[in-house]
Structure 1
Amino acid sequence: MKNSKIEKDHIRHLLLFNYNKGMKARAAFREIDKVYPGSISVVSAIRWFKKFREGDLSLKRKEGTGKEKTFSDDDLKLVVKSNPYMTLNDFAAIFDVTKSCLSKRMKVINFTNKNTLWVPHVLSNKNKCDRLTICMELLKRYQEENFLDYIVTGDETWVLYENVAQRREWSERGEIPGKTAKAGLHPKKILLSLWWDVKGIIYLEFLNRNETINAIKYQQQLRDLREALALSRPSLFNRGKVHFHHDNARPHTARDTVALLKSFEWNIIPQAPYSPDLAPSDYYLFTALKNALKNKKFTNDNELKDFVKKFFASKEPTFYKKGIYKLPSLWQSVVNCGGDYAK
């Protein structure tokens, strides 16, 4: 009975009835589907409502003429932008054309189907505003004085004993590929803290087992960093030109931490929340380290620590400078995107 002509006519009458009540197509579909499950698809409901809005209230489907129906590029763009997650079949049904016809038209209007991008956080309007304001401020400061050579930046990251990477392999058609086990839920790891500038690593520390970074620990690290800076970068330290950059983690923004940094007389570079794309350690240094660690396995702390230290020591100053000097272009990208993550 579900596919009979009588029921189809009845369903179309219900669609028109709900349209005249001012209901939206999707809401009408839900109401009808409650009573007649599976009798109509949401795409069909949308197509019929589009027909009604165009002034055609007849309930008869027009017989095909053998030619694809025409519709404007602007109509297609409007529907796609309002429903970007629908399939090609869905759009073809809305416009009552074949999938191949719709595919060709998508190419004409320069639309492609892509995976959505992974981003660190879904930014609120306030988040975007904060990022935009800070990046505009830093760009203005940079134009007045190139302070990139004076930036000291740092963060912390976990380094693992076993660094599993998914591998690609050639195999005969139909042959089952090899398997790679994922890392466990609680892998053996060490927490690494470091600070660096355009010349290289200034201070590096591995935390002890079960040790965490709280405000007291972080303040001690800052004192150690200041001593290391005085020894390895005396000209920068003595001139008082340090432009210090770190993120907004709680130990970093604690009242005593802020007071300590103020006593150092360092210039603090503002960092907007949820912005690892603007933190050199995140977008550059740690990424390079994790790539070097791929498929590496270590049996003890000393092996892992030695590898990390040798990795950083093997890099020329140009490597570090490249990471810091990316900042102005990233600031500009955020401005161009209105505070959002750069595409």
Structure 2
Amino acid sequence: MATSSNTPVQLAREQVRLLLFYEHLSGSNTRQAADRINLLIGPGTVNQATAARWFQKFKRGEVEFKDSPRSGRPKVVVEDELLALVKEDPRQSSRCLASRLGGSQRTINRRLHDLGFLWKQPIWVPHVLSAPQLQARAEAADNLLSYRRTTSWLSNVITGDEKWTLYVNYHRGRQWLKPGDSGVPTPKGELRPKSHF
């Protein structure tokens, strides 16, 4: 390859690697290969560390001169899609959101924090009560407040010592919430007596 001394040649990386392969087959060491290529093509075309790396590949039988495919940058997370998923179910972890959106977990965490979301526990509510049960509780509380309290009312209080087993255990998992939001309330477990038959 003849070049004039004052016209530097720009080679693609694959072409430089082909020259390194030629030097490797010629029996040159890495310093000699880098010096010869830089002298022929132009200073800074290849350094000794690059030559050494490719010589190692050639010794292992790897003779592919093109770059191996890379995974590239992570997919850009679209803010609207992320907000829609969090609104749909704020209990989804950043790992789950990342797998659904195709981004990295770190990116999802950063985007959610940038949007003002925090990963925190929601509020507990006593139990899942129907409208009649809520009304009955309100009436019972009203009756107790209006009850005339004398020393005799204590004799009507019944106490007991029973063991209760929770059959419905709700998991109060964390949620993505903005400061001041209470999130999706999680009911406490229903109490049911455990029976032995």
TM-score interval, normalised by the smaller of the two chains:
0.3 to 0.5
Asked which structure has the greater CA Rg, the reply is 2
TM-score normalized with structure 1 length: 0.21
The answer to which structure has the higher helix fraction is 1
TM-score normalized with structure 2 length: 0.33
